[in-house]
Structure 1
């Protein structure tokens, strides 16, 4: 990739990040070389009291806007998967304990598996009341129908946009509907890998779609109501940390998306309410449409529409 191509594709993101223009080329070079050279300029040292650490400049000097540094993730995880990863990944506990100044030899500090109730309570307490939590994932926790109802999620989180209950033991349509149909603003619902879905209960799906007027994603598939929110999710824009919400058609963040993987989303029409349009995704360069029926658009319509994406250079169908 040439530097000019890098700027053309990522120009909106670069501008939005606030990175000075004079550092754009240096960022391009470091990304290409995977140059994590921060250790030559900074070091972490312990603070005398409290077991804390601080970042200090170890280089002789570092002028303003003179350099840019790449920082890798120490550990990315979903709350429901954290305990299993700590147990299964060699050295992860020790590495995290070292970073956080935690003594792993102290039995009182041993990691314990959070109960479902603990997870829900923690999400509720970490927010600023019932209006703050917009995304909730409770996956692979062996939740059955009675447990789901008893959690009373709609009362605790009435403004949820996304709820994932993957990999549990939900079997009753009545119990699931009793909970789900109280979320009037929900945009994404994942019930994958539950007995109720494995049994292909189409009546449940139809009832959920009818009771949730804004639902755009159901069990990883797009509904006929999908809009820029679902597309933003597939573009990596919306997640637990940035759930989005509201009217997103003019959201500047969407205009920075360069890659969209829409494969196997059960999309019947790509031309719907102008959600997928060049004006909303002006710098889109990669698009994957594999595994979708697209039976509500003719080939001519699709070709004409895709030609409007002037930066699109990689298309999979």
Structure 2
């Protein structure tokens, strides 16, 4: 199994009505702001271990499990909303940074959140890094009736137990699933991630099954339409320099089949006053697992520039 080079510690922090699980590396320093790492959909804070291990210098690093992921409870809800992530992040920065602007990094869903947050609270972000947080295809108002209907239908399916996440007979099954989803993931890293990404729970028929630490309610679509005009207004309000990092595998093209492209994403980034784009070769969407040393180097070079 992968051997972590930098030990982390866990703590729980009150955030609104939840107890947020946070993983920490290093110690706070008056000389440097916290480096805050926010994970993506169906991921956990421990997923950043490989990048933290690859950092050339010691930093005080803060990584939280978003609500309903990892060891952070979901609050007994049956769907999740983007504004909640923004408020949760604000609470976390109150606790760990106070008035000090932070270096803020997000991957995938976390990348989308930190991009929006940096527009809402520009004074709280010193440097901003977005790893594959592309946003969504633009939607039209006339799609609203169908979308609301689909949202209601999915809620009913969830309450009937039809949207449960897959379970596995052992942690090794979780590791195999991670490697199937990401063929570049090595066995040692898959075994390490699986132990943090899942937990064994008693099964009604005896024994235990290993389940991903994610609330199935995250699978429910957002009832509200994605508003490109609102997103661009948030991008325009960002004052921190932005590094947008993308992998050589075009995951955006694979997901949306031409409905939303990298060229469109790059056009959106032009709204950010100070933005640059970097590319990581031989990597897919989970680029922080595929090429952690390259990702860590890009982050450190950007933060020190």
Q: TM-score, normalised by structure 1?
A: 0.26
Which one has a larger percent helix, Structure 1 or Structure 2? 2
Larger radius of gyration: 1
